[in-house]
Structure 1
Amino acid sequence: MTEQRESAGADRPASRHVDFLLVGGGLASAVAAQTLRAEGATGSIVILSAEDVPPYHHPPLSKHLLTGTEGEARIFVHPESFYGEHRIELALGARVVGVDTAKQTVTTARGEEIGYGQLLIATGATPKPLTVPGASLPGVFSLRRKTDADAIRAAITQAKHAVVLGGSFLGMEIAMSLLDAGLKVTIIEQGPVLLRHLEAPDLSSYFERYAEGRGATVILNDTAAVLRGRERVQEVETAAGRHVACDLVVVSIGVAPATDFLAGSAIALEGGYVVVDALLRTSAPNVFAAGDVTTFYDPVFARRRHIEHWDNAVKQGRLAARNMMGRRLRYDEVSYFFCEVGDIGFNVLGATEEADARVARGALDQGSFALFYLKGDVPRALFSVGRPADETRVAEGLIRYRVGLGDVKERLHEDAFVLDRIPTQ
């Protein structure tokens, strides 16, 4: 692997120029670098990563890596040999602290100034911090990086009762993994339901019962007010006055884009996210962005969105690379993500928040279930567990092309009704 670590030499490192400079050591950068070479790019490619390990997949962090049931090597996007074989320099421990779009340079925390021909911003997101007394006690964690998963896995061996703050997709995955590890688990969710982004009270209730059936205690409409402990966390006191004994807390209350280093640059931000156009270009010449860090115009839903999921990072990383080479390809994808809550793996297409009605097919407790989210008679999203690939493919077309179902809407609930009879264009 062509790998380089920054050193704090006595003199300021000499400036250099890179044809394709990728800031961020995550999935979007790894896919972009791979795509550049696959598309015939011959210039220099450098990935600047603030982390000390090569790019890796994030989904296993909350599942197999957390419980130690899957080998660490399987989480990496590419094998170690990939980078050297494809003449990609991977600079680890290289945190970028500034971008000068007029000079077309970036500056690292070590003071190195690097010029670029084309720049990709793909720094991802960081966990929102818990801002209550005691949040910095030992035994309190968030989960975003491999080092976080490693630290939580080590803490599990000494823990008995964990509290997970947040009943989001990530929070639920973490909670189930902690149960699998043999811990007593309490989930505290500020809102009235778990998995609120599903926008489906019946689904949220199902997963609440499922979590409780696995042994978790679920507390809704409450949040941590104080964390207490002497040498490490021992208790969570909630806003409602509950006292939950624990020796491990994992905070999962959302993420924010990692864009602090862009403050004062000419790269436009919106709510902290990098604003990109349909080609994933930023407001600055020769600067692109991809993945969790972007706010982009979604033509399927005719509005700006930001999506912090694996599939979006892959697709935007690939498209940004092609456009960095001079192509003019537009980002036009039906958003998709997957989640595993215990032994229930599900997929979501589209935007669940756009619906005013929902139609179910199949039975969730039998492992084959779909929930169509409709706006009028137009499908806007799909939740599915164990459904045929053809059904998902048809649903994606219905969502993409905003196909009105008409009278077919009345038959959508019939599991025997074959969806491929519906024209998708």
Structure 2
Amino acid sequence: MAAHTALVIVGAGLAGAKAAQTLREEGFSDPVLLLGQESERPYERPPLSKGYLLGKDERDTVYVHPPQWYADHDVDLSLGTTVNAIDPAAHEVTLADGSRLGYAKLLLTTGSSPRRLPVPGADLDGVLYLRRLDDSDRIKETLASASRIAVIGAGWIGLETAAAARAAGVEVTVLERGELPLLRVLGREAAPLFADLHTDHGVDLRYGAQVAEITGADGRADGVLLADGSRIEADAVIVGIGITPNTGLAEAAGLEVDNGVRVDAHLRSSHPDVYAAGDVANAAHPLLGTHIRVEHWANALNQPQTAAKAMLGQDVSYDRVPYFFTDQYDLGMEYTGYVEPGGYDQVVFRGRRDTREFIAFWLFEDRVLAGMNVNVWDVTDPIRRLVTSGRSVDATKLADTKVPLVDLLDDSGRAS
């Protein structure tokens, strides 16, 4: 058999599209095949719960590239295409129609899927999840006609859809199993910010809520029954209880899987010619000294560029610290860094929490692990530099708004 020369990318979302773009920008001239299950060309997901859902952004703005870009750059974009199996030994993928495609190297950007609610009634009409473009369309249509909705889960998706619903004039009840929204991510010090934000905008937040059943009539959801016997009436139910990496292909192919496809800092899997990037990749991080799987936009944007270069034989590794953002009501937030739940010993606030204009820093032994700027802009670069320096900082100066953040860095850009 002739040697395969094509590079195949399984998963045509933002990560897959950016990998294909990088391959061409780096001068790779052999075939690039980009295979996607959806019928839509690659698009970005943040607008689905933000600007597009709110009606502020037009549909065309969500796409990664214009329609003609793929043909113009000789990228074979195959939509509505399901990959059934990977054979790393033969360097082939098998499609749903039984055909096989050979590859020299393979990149998995298969993303993730929403966790499903395991209760009676979860399959009723009007029980909605948000992951794909058509999901956002469905929720947008629902918000235009509903008078009240229930949101299950107070994570980022739950809170952003709740904010969109309130903007549409819909009554919202958010049901959260924990004690506060985003408690695992932000800890007790910062999580109340989002609780107060939503309460101030009329959201009914219920904590310790155990969902027992989605109730319905005539096949359509009409409320949520809780374990304590109480019932929340709702015209629709939005479920946002997390996502699960799409690792089925990798597992069946015998690749190492552990909370995602386990890859090294070059994004190479346990097979030397198979790589992974984006939501599905649990990658070794050179700076953090551990494997992490990041489920945010910036990771899907940037990580595939490293994977593509590594596939071309370049000596590169992915060492960007995680970054994500949210927009809810009049609050804009950016978060830079990484903190394991409970992996810090103090939180330093800089600015005014009462007006929601501040920066929060998570520290361990006087080292900045992460920073979250809330309605404070143009500070992500110094925050990132504080995080990546690994050096101790003076917490008193960190909290003092009269001390510019850049003054906490020495001339080399390291914390001082």
Place the TM-score, normalised by the shorter chain, in its bin: over 0.9
| Partner of residue 174, structure 1 | 161
Equivalent of 1:56 in 37, 43, 68: 43
Relative to structure 1, the CA distance from residue 412 to residue 62 in structure 2 (aligned partners, 3 Å threshold; closer, same or farther) is same
- 1:246-280 residue CA offsets vs partner (Å, 9 max, x unmatched): 01101000000012123331311113x10101110
Q: Which of the residues 374, 383, 388 maps onto 1:385?
A: 374
- SS for the counterpart of 1:393 is helix
Measured in 2, the distance between the counterparts of 1:311 and 1:263 equals 26
SS in 2 for 1:130: coil
1:278 paired residue number: 265
Counterpart CA distance in 2 for 1:16 and 1:179 is 57
Q: Provide, for residues 157-196 of structure 1, a one-character-per-residue CA deviation record: whole Å limited to 9, x for no partner.
A: 3321111100001110011011112211110011100122
Q: Does 1:66 align with 2:66?
A: no
Q: Which moved more, 1:194-203 or 1:394-403?
A: 194-203
Taking a change above 3 Å as real, the CA distance of residues 138 and 18 of structure 1, as seen in their structure-2 partners, is farther
Distance 2:377 2:327 in 1: 18
Q: Kindly state the Cα deviation for residue 388 of structure 1 after the two structures are TM-superposed.
A: 4.6
358, 364, 367: which one aligns with 2:347: 358
Instruction: Sort the Cα spacing of 1:219 and 1:404 in 2 relative to 1 into closer, same or farther, 3 A.
Output: same
Identity %: 34
Relative to the length of structure 1, the TM-score reads 0.92
The answer for the alignment partner of 2:28 in structure 1 is 41
- 2:287 corresponding residue in structure 1: 300
State how far apart, in whole Å, the 1-side matches of 2:222 and 2:136 are.
Answer: 21
Q: 1:421 aligns with which of 393, 396, 407?
A: 407
CA contact (8 A) 2:223 2:237 kept: no
- Structure 1 residue 110: Cα displacement: 2.0
Tell me whether 1:395 sits opposite 2:389 in the alignment: no
- Measure, in 2, the Cα distance between the counterparts of 1:16 and 1:144: 38
Q: Does residue 258 of structure 1 match 2:210?
A: no
AA in 1 matched with 2:293: H
Equivalent residue letter for 1:42: S
Superposed counterparts of 1:9-158, under 5 Å: 19-158=6-145
Unmatched tracts of structure 1, length 5 or more:
1-14
Pair 1:388–1:161, CA change in 2 (3 A): closer
1:336-395, CA deviations, whole angstroms, 9 ceiling, x for partnerless residues?
Answer: 111112221101111233311011011144453101111011111101123352x43222
SS state at 2:94 partner: strand
Alignment of 1:330 onto 2:317 = yes
Determine if contact 2:223/2:236 at 8 Å carries over to the other structure: no
Is 1:290–1:317's contact at 8 Å kept on the other side of the alignment?
A: yes
1:215 matched to 2:192? The reply is: no
Supply the distance in 1 between the matched residues of 2:285 and 2:211 (Cα, whole angstroms).
35
TM-superposed CA distance for 1:141, in Å, is 0.9
Corresponding position of 1:411 = 397
Q: What are the Cα deviations for residues 1-44 of structure 1, in whole angstroms up to 9, with x where unaligned?
A: xxxxxxxxxxxxxx996611110011111101111111101011
Match of 1:224 among 193, 211, 234: 211
Aligned to 1:9: none
Deviation digits for residues 303-333 of structure 1 (CA, Å, limit 9, x no counterpart):
1111000111111111111111110101111
Paired residue secondary structure (1:154): helix
Could you list the per-position Cα deviations for residues 219-256 of structure 1 after superposition, in whole angstroms to 9, with x for gaps in the alignment?
Answer: 01113111111220011011232210001101000000
Task: State the one-letter code of the partner of 2:62.
Answer: I
Structure 1 range deviating more: 287-296 or 107-116: 107-116
Per-residue CA deviation, residues 78-114 of structure 1 (Å, 9 max, x unaligned), is: 1111111111111000011110001111112222211
Say what the alpha-carbon RMSD is for the aligned residues. 1.7
**Could you tell me whether the CA contact under 8 Å between 1:16 and 1:113 is conserved in 2?**
no
Which residue does 1:5 correspond to in 2? none
| Partner Cα separation in structure 2 for residue 233 and residue 306 of structure 1 | 34
Map of 1:243-254 to 2, 5 A cutoff? 243-254=231-242
Amino acid of the residue matched to residue 402 of structure 2? A
More displaced, 299-308 or 374-383?
299-308
Q: What displacement does 1:206 show?
A: 2.4
User: Aligned letter for 2:363?
Assistant: L
Task: Work out the CA distance in 2 between the residues paired with 1:229 and 1:217.
Answer: 21
How many angstroms apart in 1 are the aligned matches of 2:356 and 2:206? 26
**In 2, Cα distance between the equivalents of 1:387 and 1:69?**
22
**Aligned AA (1:397):** R
Question: C-alpha separation between the residues in 2 aligned to 1:209 and 1:420?
Answer: 31
Unaligned ranges ≥5, structure 2? none
Read off the aligned partner of 2:42 and give its amino acid letter.
P
Q: Distance in 1 between matches of 2:118 and 2:333?
A: 32
Counterpart of 1:184 in structure 2 is 171
8 Å Cα contact 1:17/1:114 also seen in 2: no
Question: Residue 234 of structure 1 aligns with which residue?
Answer: 222
**Partner Cα distance (2:36, 2:210) in 1:** 34
Report the more deviating stretch, 338-347 or 200-209.
200-209
Looking at structure 1, the residues matched to 72 and 329 of structure 2 have their Cα atoms a distance apart, in angstroms, of: 38
Aligned to 1:372: 361
What displacement does 1:154 show?
2.3
Counterpart residue type for residue 16 of structure 2: S
Check if 1:200 corresponds to 2:187: yes
CA distance in 1: counterparts of 2:162 and 2:3, whole angstroms: 46
1:245/1:18 Cα in 2 relative to 1: closer, same or farther (>3 Å)?
farther
SS at match of 2:104: strand
